[in-house]
Every structure is written in structure tokens, then in C-alpha cells.
């Protein structure tokens, strides 16, 4: 073991982002404890890590206290797609708020550094474009998305209060749309939705007229940003935006995916969901200055890797090698 290796806890470690983070931290020679309650995370995401003697996995819900010994904590636990976080909105808020309290309490006891995976959703449907970290946001506190948006905003409040009151070493990352292999095929996010529909030759569902914009960051770039943030000097807390500043419309994304898959899918249009943001684009000036970070995986290359992953997944489902991932909890469809 390297003398510089650390014992690192990753909550939500069997999820999309968490599994990639666990893998990267192990590759850097650290001991990694992956904690997940498998609400949206999947054991298959970390199956390839189970034989690594430096990797440990624990089934646990962060809304309950956790007693372990670690040097650093990455708090990623929370369902992050609308279809999942709206399935049980009360539990989503509890995961963000009680989970933050429990992980901050653990960090306080251990005097450990802790990173909060916050979200661009703290900006709501923004009146400022692109979004900078000093923008306070435009969030509906009583809407269908509020369990996630306000839960994450409250978690940020808790992190900064623990920092001011208890001198805790904190880092806060505001994560913008991220995509890549290991996304859940039925998570309701635009990239996974479009790819699965295109691969099946089904119509691609666009909400509204498809003019709303998003900025898509490939998962390896995002993980690099999280680790760089964790390794900054203790006096830098963030929040810091992590995302790709290249903006595109939802319709343009659909057309790109159709072209890359060679699909015959047509576009169909449905009403825009309530409180769906019309614009999303991070200003990453702070990340460039403080982390020396910006994404470098082109959208075409990232989509090709993601399409290949979902194509393999479809083949494995068709062959019976794995269970159909669409068999989710009743109501979480």
C-alpha cells in the first residue's frame, strides 16, 4: 500500500457516479468503503471491484448514522433523476438532509475532510445565464422537483454551517448534467432515454419543443473534477460548478443520438414537465482557476462510449445473461 493512500468513504458508491469514483480512487491506491442502499445504485456497477482487497461494500441507508473510520468522505448518496427522486419525495428530502447531517457528524467526529455532491438544480429555472456560483437561484419550494432541489440546497446550508461552527473541512461541488456508461437505462434522464429509444427504433420523446438547453459532461471528466476539488487546500470550500459549458438544445441532442446509432427513430413531442428548467449552462471560471479543470471529452466520443454500453446491456438482457433492469419498484417507472 502506498504511504500516501487514504481510507475513503463513498456514499452512493454503487450508483452511476459513485461507481466511477470508487474505481478511480482504487486505481490511485486508496482503500475505499462503498456505501449504498441500492435504491437506485446497482451492485453490478461495482461487481468488477469486489475482488480488489482495498475495496469494501456495505449496504446502508445514510438517513441512519454510520460508524466507520475513514480519512475522507464523498457524499454522493441521493437519487438524482426526476423519475427516481419523485417516486418517494419525502425519502429524497430525508436522504439529502438527514444524510448530510449524519455524514457531517461522522466527519466531525473523525476530523475528516468531506465533499458534498450538490447539483445545478440549486439554481432552479435560472434568471442568470450561464450560472455562476454566486447566483442564489430561482427555485419553487413547493413543486414536484422541490424534494431534490430544496433538499440539496439545505444540504449545502448544513455543510457551510458545520464549516463555520465546527471548523469542518468541507468541499461542495455543483454537478451539472453528466452522462456515460453505468447510467441506469430507465432513470428517465434525457441521454439514457434517447439512447434506449434510438437503439430500439422507438420514437424519441421530446418534452416541449426541444428548445430547452443542457450542457453534457462525460463521467470521466466529472470524476476528475471531484477528486481535484477534494485535493484543493483546506481554505477553499467551493461551491464550485462542475460541468461542460458547451450548450445545446434537447432536440440537437436527439438528432446527434439518432445519427450515431443509425436509428430510424422519429421525434415525438409531449408537454413540458412542471418546473423543468429552460436553460442549463455552467460558468466554470472558478473550476478553471482553482482546480485547473475543464472537461475535454468531446460529446461525440462520450456518446459513442455510452451508446456502446447500452447496446451491450440490451444484448445481455436479450440473452438472459442479466435480469431486465426495467423491473423496478412499482411506481418508479
In a domain, 172, yes or no: yes
Decide if 123 is catalytic: no
CA distance 294 to 285: 9
Per-residue pLDDT tens over the stretch 1-49: 445 789 999 999 999 999 999 999 999 999 999 999 998 899 999 999 9
In a domain, 212, yes or no: no
In a domain, 84, yes or no: yes
Chain-wide mean pLDDT for the chain? 91
- Report whether pLDDT(127) > 80: yes
The domain that contains 73 carries what CATH number? Answer: 3.40.50.720
In a domain, 232, yes or no: yes
CA distances to 11, 39, 226, 248 from 95, rounded to whole Å, are 11, 11, 20, 31
In a domain, 317, yes or no: no
pTM of the model: 0.91
The number of domains in the chain is 1
In a domain, 139, yes or no: yes
Half-sphere exposure of 272 (CA within 13 A, CB side): 11
Residue 236 neighbours by CB under 8 Å, 6+ apart: 171, 290
Q: Do residues 325 and 192 lie in contact, with contact meaning Cβ atoms separated by under 8 Å?
A: no
In a domain, 200, yes or no: no
C-alpha cell at 268: 415525438
Nearest to 115 by CA among 8, 204, 245: 8
In a domain, 326, yes or no: no
SS3 label, residue 62:
coil
Q: Which of 74, 85, 123, 148 is catalytic?
A: 148
Per-residue pLDDT tens over the stretch 75-107: 999 877 566 667 778 989 999 999 999 999 999
Domain that holds residue 75: 7-179+218-245+281-297
Residue 58 neighbours by CB under 8 Å, 6+ apart: 33, 34, 35, 36
Amino acid at each position: 500500500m502506498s504511504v500516501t493512500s487514504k481510507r475513503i468513504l463513498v456514499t452512493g458508491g454503487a450508483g452511476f457516479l459513485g461507481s466511477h469514483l470508487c474505481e478511480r480512487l482504487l486505481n490511485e491506491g486508496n482503500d475505499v468503503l462503498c456505501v449504498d442502499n441500492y435504491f437506485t445504485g446497482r451492485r453490478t456497477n461495482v461487481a468488477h471491484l469486489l475482488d480488489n482487497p482495498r475495496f469494501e461494500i456495505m449496504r446502508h441507508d445514510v438517513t441512519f448514522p454510520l460508524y466507520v473510520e475513514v480519512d475522507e468522505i464523498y457524499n454522493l448518496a441521493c437519487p438524482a433523476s426526476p423519475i427516481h427522486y419523485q417516486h418517494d419525495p419525502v425519502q429524497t428530502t430525508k436522504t439529502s438532509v438527514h444524510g448530510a447531517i449524519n455524514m457531517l457528524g461522522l466527519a466531525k467526529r473523525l476530523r475528516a475532510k468531506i465533499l458534498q455532491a450538490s447539483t445545478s438544480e440549486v439554481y432552479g429555472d435560472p434568471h442568470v445565464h450561464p450560472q455562476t456560483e454566486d447566483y442564489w437561484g430561482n427555485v419553487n419550494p413547493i413543486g414536484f422537483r422541490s424534494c431534490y432541489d430544496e433538499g440539496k440546497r439545505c444540504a449545502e446550508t448544513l455543510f457551510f454551517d458545520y464549516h463555520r461552527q465546527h471548523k469542518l473541512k468541507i468541499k461542495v461541488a455543483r454537478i451539472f448534467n453528466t452522462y456515460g456508461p453505468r447510467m441506469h437505462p430507465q432513470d428517465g434522464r434525457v441521454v439514457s432515454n434517447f439512447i434506449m429509444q434510438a437503439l430500439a427504433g422507438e420514437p424519441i420523446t421530446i418534452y416541449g419543443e426541444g428548445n430547452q438547453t443542457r450542457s453534457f459532461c462525460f463521467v470521466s471528466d466529472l470524476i476528475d473534477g471531484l477528486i481535484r476539488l477534494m485535493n484543493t487546500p483546506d481554505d477553499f470550500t467551493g461551491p464550485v460548478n462542475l460541468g461542460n459549458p458547451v450548450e445545446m438544445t434537447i432536440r440537437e441532442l436527439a438528432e446527434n443520438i439518432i445519427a450515431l446509432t443509425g436509428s430510424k427513430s422519429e421525434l415525438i413531442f409531449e408537454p413540458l414537465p412542471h418546473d423543468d428548467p429552460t436553460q442549463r449552462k455552467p460558468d466554470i471560471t472558478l473550476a478553471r482557476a482553482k482546480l485547473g479543470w475543464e472537461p475535454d471529452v468531446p460529446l461525440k466520443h462520450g456518446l459513442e462510449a455510452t451508446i456502446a454500453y447500452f447496446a451491450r446491456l440490451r444484448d445481455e438482457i436479450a440473452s438472459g445473461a442479466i435480469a431486465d433492469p426495467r423491473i423496478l419498484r412499482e411506481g418508479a417507472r
